[in-house]
Every structure is written in C-alpha cells, then in structure tokens.
Structure 1
Amino acid sequence: MKQAIVVRTDIGMGKGKLAAQAAHASLKAYESAHTKTQSEWKQGGQKKVVLKVSSEREIHELADKARREGLPNAVISDAGHTQLEPGTVTALAVGPGEENLVDRVTGDLSLL
C-alpha cells in the first residue's frame, strides 16, 4: 500500500506552505478511502512518496487517471490567506492504494 502526494513547483510556494498543502492532500485522500484500505495502509506503515509537477493541468490529468484506476484522490486548492491567490490548485494525493495502481498514475514523476 502506498500514497503519492504530488505538489506543484511552478507557483513559488515556500517550504512551509508546500508541507501544509501536502498534508491537506494526504489527509483528504485518506478520508475518502474505504475503511479496509485505510486500515491496511495504516498497518503497513503509511508509506508515502512526494513528487513534483510544474502545472495545474498535470494535477488534473493525474487526478483523472487516479479516478479511472478507482483510487482515492484529492485535489487541493488554496484558501488564499497567505502566499497564493484563492483557488490556486497546489497539490494532489493519490491513494492510499495498492502500490502498483498508484504507480500506474504517478510512476513517471520525479521526487520533490
């Protein structure tokens, strides 16, 4: 079991902002997973990987692929209270899910 968290590098988020957005994505996708998936992922150590993309378009394309694979996923848009304009898409979490399925969606991306 694995979860991939994908963040945008083209919008100039600071390190703290990026970490917060990744955490939002992780939790939201986890909450949308089936109870059995949640349990298996937690018991397996909650494996995560953080990856990068350089556009909002890529986030939405990956979210579409995740939906087609039947994976829980969450696209995060910023509230706009600090560094970014309201509604700016910042991150995506794919999974938790079977590692091979998550890799079908995110396996070609580079680590952050």
Structure 2
Amino acid sequence: MALVLRGELRLSAGKSAVQAAHAAVMLVEQARRRDESGMAEWLAQGQKKIALVVSTLDEMVDIERRARARGIAVLWVEDAGFTEVAPGTRTCLGLGPALASELDPITGSLPLL
C-alpha cells in the first residue's frame, strides 16, 4: 500500500498522519467490499505501507492514472476543511492494497514523507 501526500500543502505532521490513516482504512474497506484476492496475500506479508510525498496535485493525478492503468485500486482523501486546508482539498492518494513489486514501477522514485 502506498500513501502519497501533497507536499505543496505543507500539512503538519499530525495532519499528514491522519490523512494517510484515512487512506489506509478506506483502501482496506474498499478491498473488503470488492473481495479482492490480493488482499489476503498483502495481509499475510505484513500489511506493508509506505508514506510518500509529491510536490503537486498534478503529480498525484499522474500517479493515479498510472496506477489505474495497471489495475491497482486507488482512492482520494478529501479533507473536511475543519483545520488546515479548505473543504474538499485533495490531501492524500492511496494505492492498493498491493505488493511492493506492483507499486514500485509507479511510486519507486518518490521520496519518503
């Protein structure tokens, strides 16, 4: 699972952690609803997650496009706007659950959060 945050928003550490957590929980729930077979393998291999950062929303949109093209589940976290950013701001892009070997071609060059 990859959790990609928008660096340009300059979210606090706490806000970044919460946005990534929202994405992780929503991805797992999405996978359970779809009964994805890859979920069992991801769970068995330790439920790996990685938090990454990109500079802009455009970069996140490109990552989304590339992930969808490879059949990897994606979702956006849009903030409610109660604290640091305006309502509806896309803060995090979640990919997976998927194995590192599936995500690396898309996210392998991104810096860690």
Fold shared, TM-score > 0.5 on shorter chain: yes
Residue 109 of structure 1 aligns to a residue whose secondary structure is coil
Q: How do 1:33-112 and structure 2 match up within 5 A?
A: 33=31, 34-112=35-113
Q: Would you say how many aligned residue pairs link Structure 1 and Structure 2?
A: 110
1:61 to partner: Cα distance: 1.0
1:62–1:105 CA contact under 8 A, matched in 2: yes
What is the aligned-residue identity percentage?
39
TM-score, normalising length: structure 2: 0.89
More helix by share: 2
Query: What 5-or-longer segments of structure 1 have no aligned partner?
Result: none
1:75–1:91 CA contact under 8 A, matched in 2: yes
**RMSD over aligned Cα, in angstroms?**
1.3
Residue 97 of structure 1 aligns to a residue whose secondary structure is coil
Q: Distance in 1 between matches of 2:46 and 2:99?
A: 13
Residue 85 of structure 2 aligns to a residue whose secondary structure is coil
In the alignment, which residue of structure 2 is the partner of 1:11?
9
In the alignment, which residue of structure 1 is the partner of 2:26?
28
Query: What 5-or-longer segments of structure 2 have no aligned partner?
Result: none
Q: Distance in 2 between matches of 1:51 and 1:99?
A: 13
Q: Distance in 2 between matches of 1:26 and 1:60?
A: 18
Q: Distance in 1 between matches of 2:110 and 2:87?
A: 26
Q: Distance in 2 between matches of 1:48 and 1:37?
A: 15
1:89 to partner: Cα distance: 0.9
2:42–2:99 CA contact under 8 A, matched in 1: no
More strand by share: 1
